[in-house]
Structure 1
Amino acid sequence: MVSLTSLSDPNVIRGVLVHRMDFSRQEWREAGDIGGRAFLLAPWYFGASRPAAECGLEADCVYVAYAGTRRLLVFNVKDGTTTMQDLDGAPVSKLALWMLPTNP
């Protein structure tokens, strides 16, 4: 489970929380990794989860695209760091979404 926290503006993320269900105890526990996957998100909806190596992305990271900007937040689950990447060549859109490849 990935939670994006903000104060009042959903386009300003204050934190990223990643939890995994511990079925033996029936409770959510903080995750130290996401199994080498990359989670692709946009505020207000979940995009996808893919093996990071298949997409050329960094493993165990949450990628969050922002509508109306050319920015991408990258949260590393293993070390807890967050970076903001400027996507100068990308078009500005009112909707943030992910275009994903289909499986053959």
Structure 2
Amino acid sequence: MVFVLFLGHNVHKIDKVNVYKMDFSRPEWCKVDMIGDRVFLLGGDSIGASNFGASCSASEHGLSSNCIYFLNNIAAEENYLHVFNLEKGTEEVQRPFRHKNGCALPPPRPPIWLLPTDD
């Protein structure tokens, strides 16, 4: 479970990221500082009606390990990708939706899940 915490009411400034792992022997959520070769991909829409999270192997997909990738859709006009490195405690902000002429592209459409079906 991942929590992205903003600085006060400023949706443009992310204060910290907390990551928890379920300990099924107790059961309870335990805070962790490392996720190893894993990454979490977080997103949602600007009104909070849809949120999602996924985890995958970083090395299999060319991503930086031990990182949280977060598209800040709450600040819709921002449209930036935040990459949090849990080990280093650093944040990198990328602008993947920036058009070649410097203008921001419209926000991407909300995410959807595609699930395989058995016929």
> Which residue in the other structure is 2:94 paired with?
85
Sequence identity (%): 37
> Which residue in the other structure is 2:37 paired with?
36
Unaligned runs of 5+ in 2: none
The structural deviation recorded for 1:61 is 0.6
Distance 1:5 1:37, change over 3 A: same
1:32-59 deviation per Cα after TM superposition (whole angstroms, max 9, x unaligned): 2223111111154123211112221101
Distance 1:54 1:18, change over 3 A: same
TM-score by length of 1: 0.73
Indicate the RMSD between aligned Cα atoms, in angstroms.
2.9
The structural deviation recorded for 1:79 is 2.2
Q: CA contact under 8 A between 1:40 and 1:49: conserved in structure 2?
A: yes
Distance 1:53 1:91, change over 3 A: farther
> Which residue in the other structure is 1:63 paired with?
69
Question: Is residue 12 of structure 2 the alignment partner of residue 3 of structure 1?
Answer: no
**2:106 partner amino acid:** V
How many residue pairs get aligned? The number is: 101
Distance 1:94 1:8 in 2: 24
**Higher relative contact order structure (alpha carbons within 8 Å, sequence separation ≥ 6):** 1
